[in-house]
Structure 1
Amino acid sequence: MTEPAQPNVRHLDARSLRGLAHPLRMQLLDALRFGGPATASQLAEKLGESSGATSYHLRQLAAHGFVEDAPERGKGRERWWRAAVQGLVFDDSLLDDTSAAVRGAADLYLHEVATTQAREVSTWLGTREDWSAEWARSTDMSSMTLRLTPELTHELVEKMHALVDSYRDLAEVEEHPDAQTVRVHTHAFPFTTD
């Protein structure tokens, strides 16, 4: 995968991947990345977990540099957390690592990314009536099948990422009243038709 053109991008290596590759940890990091700073209790309520579990996994994420304290938000004993990274880059070579633990963590990570993306699409479908007709007309759930070589597939992925990145920091969008956070998922993989 290519590196996104955004600040605070973390390249996952064997050690950091093992610290992140857990479904709840990945959900916690996403909640902080997209929802902003929160306490373990707030995250527990949002994710339907116990505050003990969220607190433990937040400390594990912090030990690997994915989250950090947000002291400006805390009052008294209340501990606030924020994402320390905004983007993640997965190195496909982790799937071929000599360590079975690293390969397992890489596999778990990718499966959790796929599960999260499916959940996000399902959430959109379940809440699309809450959005304006203009937003409903602006969304896309396409499936296209091409016959390509690995090299052409890589080229296509690079071009899709470059196109998405070109929309990342459009200044005129920042203050626009209709602007919303938009998730873009891409998938490109070989498909057997037998």
Structure 2
Amino acid sequence: MPEDPKLHELDARTLRGLAHPLRMRLLSALRRSGPATASRLAEKLGESSGATSYHLRQLAAYGFVEDAPEHGKGRERWWRAVHQGVRFDESLLQDTDPAVRGAANVFMHEVANWHTQELSTFIGTRHEWSEEWVGASDVSDFTLRLTPDLASELNEKVHALLNGYRAHALPEGSPGAEQVRIHHHVFPMRTD
């Protein structure tokens, strides 16, 4: 796939800096809602400001967040996400270092937990959305019998289709537009 400058390619070092449940939640909050202080993030995520402050500094040390001084007043320290997302290299799950494999597993499980939480939140709040948005949402699953090559081809085509919609993305504040999350999972299953 072509390199996307808005994505950060995870490697063994940066993966260890990100693979923590609170760090992943902090980074996600900054990506979705924009710059914030440790105190605001603590309130939003139900954490202590000491914990959010510490983990934000760790994220900064690994290049995931940076200061956003244009938002600060006085001693307030504002943070912003450096990239719009990360690209996970599956080879990290096979790394020779057990610490890297462990961090990769934590990362993957946190992503799965986050996807489940997002979907559950939508299902629980769908009555708050307009009929038009409810009708435009989709919770589908498909089962196909494919080879690894065909599964890879499917992934590439889905990613290309989704990337094609980036050109149509509207700026924040556009009438009728909302952030839309798309979860895409392709994995093998054994049948009994």
Distance 2:148 2:84 in 1: 29
Q: CA deviation at 1:176?
A: 4.6
User: Which runs of no fewer than 5 residues in structure 1 stay unpaired?
Assistant: none
Amino acid at match of 1:132: S
Amino acid at match of 2:139: M
Cross-structure match for 1:32: 30
- Report if the CA contact (8 A) 1:4-1:165 is conserved: no
Q: Over residues 89-114 of structure 1, what are the superposed CA-to-partner deviations in whole Å (9 max), with x where a residue is unaligned?
A: 00011011110000000010000000
Cross-structure match for 1:118: 116
- Report if the CA contact (8 A) 1:74-1:80 is conserved: yes
Output the aligned Cα RMSD: 1.3
Amino acid at match of 2:107: Y
SS where residue 82 of structure 1 aligns? strand
Specify which of 160, 163, 175 is matched with residue 162 of structure 1: 160
Are 2:145 and 1:127 equivalent residues in the alignment?
no
* Superposition misfits of 4+ residues, deviation over 2 angstroms: 2-5, 173-176
TM-score scaled by length of structure 2: 0.96
Cross-structure match for 2:13: 15
Q: Over residues 161-180 of structure 1, what are the superposed CA-to-partner deviations in whole Å (9 max), with x where a residue is unaligned?
A: 11111111216x44751111
Q: Over residues 168-194 of structure 1, what are the superposed CA-to-partner deviations in whole Å (9 max), with x where a residue is unaligned?
A: 1216x4475111110000011011121
Amino acid at match of 1:44: A
Q: How do 1:14-163 and structure 2 match up within 5 A?
A: 14-163=12-161
Q: Over residues 33-83 of structure 1, what are the superposed CA-to-partner deviations in whole Å (9 max), with x where a residue is unaligned?
A: 001000000000000000000000000000000000000011111100000
- Report if the CA contact (8 A) 1:66-1:84 is conserved: yes
Distance 1:3 1:49 in 2: 38
SS where residue 183 of structure 1 aligns? coil
Q: 1:176 to 1:62 in 2, by over 3 A?
A: closer
**Size of the alignment, in residue pairs?**
191
Amino acid at match of 2:168: L
Larger RCO, structure (CA 8 Å, separation 6 or more)? 1
Q: Over residues 118-159 of structure 1, what are the superposed CA-to-partner deviations in whole Å (9 max), with x where a residue is unaligned?
A: 000011011111110000000111011000000000000110
Distance 2:3 2:185 in 1: 15
Amino acid at match of 1:94: L
SS where residue 166 of structure 1 aligns? helix
